[in-house]
Amino acid sequence: MAYTTINKSSDYFDTKIYTQSGSSNNGDTQTITMDNVGFTWFKNRDYINAHALFDIVRGGDKLLATNGTGAEETVGGGITFGASDTTIGADTGGYGFNNRVGDDYVAWHWRTDGTTGSSNTDGSITSTVSANTTSGFSIAQWTGTGSNATIGHGLGVTPKCFLIKKTSGTSAWSMYHESVGNTKFITFNSFDVATTGSTVWNNTSPTSSVFSVGTGDNGNASGATYIGYFFAEKTGFSKMGIVDGNANSSSPSFIYTGFKPSFVMLKISETGGSDTGGAVMYDNKRYPNNLSNSPVLFGNLSNAESDAYNLEMFSNGFRFNSTSVTVNGSGNKYIYMAFAEAPLVGSNNVPATAR
């Protein structure tokens, strides 16, 4: 049996970096070359500007920001999702995903099935789902009921991590991670550790067909609309887990993924004292080598890119050579999500190489 069913990871997840051109802060359009992009996550690397998330289910003119609690906004320009190429519009409203001439940008993007979604009746609440079961990624949209419920996610396997957000009004971003469990949730747009609360996941773990929500405003308020992004683990392509910090920069914890990472996101989930930490995000396009100070963006902040925390990527995993409480504090636990540049060994038996 082949080690992985995904030999070319960039067919399902990839990173685009570009420097905006054009005139008068109304930049030229840009192109993402990937079949059936369904979800894009943008950030201006040089300027204090919001993160900008778009997906094919809500529509390419609907923006959400992970560094705040606001409802979705309708934007000018926006994203045109396509079967082969996806176009990043001119951002005529100055929302920060493509508008500042001369600034550097990053766009992370995931593939779905290329549709705006289909009805999913697996749960007690009907959802609209666009999914890619090969790579283990799906998008689900639903309307809350205010009562404990289940909702179909369309993956066909159990998700290990997901993010949900109310789109029709103000609310926090809630993150589920298998390593944290179903009695706690992570507020992604904050620096906080995981919080105990039954009103988010109803103290119930997801299954291969549905996830559970309680009565909380950040997942299931009556009449409110929500979006969720769901990630399953696929051998050689994606990995979600937890790591213990040790505050030792010369012998840090090594995280085995089974592939050469192209993207890593890490967030503190449990503290041995009073530490907190944001969601640090790295990728192999902004960060092609193992440097002493690696360019990091925080998923919960509008800050520009900064050099910090020294992430090292290898052919089979990664580690943080840092004593910072944000990524490697003693007694702390950190959840992570990683995607591959290349599997450790593809079905053609060619091994990945280190940086």
**In this model, does residue 93 exceed pLDDT 60?**
yes
- List, for residues 42-85, the tens digit of each pLDDT value: 999 999 999 999 999 999 999 999 999 999 999 988 899 999 99
Per-residue pLDDT, 341: 94
- Domain for residue 322, yes or no? yes
Domain finish residue from 198, 215, 231? 231
Check residue 11 and report its DSSP letter: G
Amino acid at 105: Y
Domain ranges, residue 324: 238-343
The H or E element spanning position 198 is helix 198-201
Model confidence at 349, in pLDDT bands (50, 70, 90)? very low
* Pair (82, 169) in one structural domain: no
85 CA to centre of own chain: 21
Here the tokens at position 351 are 């091994």
* Pair (23, 104) in one structural domain: yes
- List, for residues 243-281, the tens digit of each pLDDT value: 999 999 888 889 999 999 999 999 999 998 889 999 999
> 152 has which bridge partners?
210
* Pair (186, 243) in one structural domain: no
Here the tokens at position 49 are 């500007």
Sheet holding 79-80, edge to edge: 30-33, 85-88, 79-80
Compute and round to an integer the Cα radius of gyration of the chain: 19
Separation of alpha carbons 155 and 138, rounded Å: 6
Number of Cβ within a 10 Å radius of residue 101: 14
* Pair (69, 149) in one structural domain: no
* Pair (218, 251) in one structural domain: no
**In this model, does residue 346 exceed pLDDT 60?**
no
Please state the rounded mean pLDDT for residues 99-121: 94
Per-residue pLDDT, 287: 78
Cβ neighbors of 51 (< 8 A, separation 6 or more) are 41, 42, 43, 65, 66, 67, 299, 302
Q: Which of 16-25, 232-241, 280-289 has the lowest mean pLDDT?
A: 16-25
Number of separate domains in the chain: 3
The H or E element spanning position 334 is strand 333-343
Per-residue pLDDT, 292: 56
- List, for residues 218-227, the tens digit of each pLDDT value: 999 999 999 9
* Pair (83, 123) in one structural domain: no
* Pair (246, 335) in one structural domain: yes
Domain finish residue from 111, 140, 171? 111
Instruction: Give the closest residue to 43 by CA, choosing from 306, 219, 277.
Output: 306
Sheet holding 118-120, edge to edge: 118-120, 127-132, 137-143, 225-231, 161-166, 174-177, 184-187, 195-196
Amino acid at 22: G
Domain finish residue from 57, 81, 111? 111
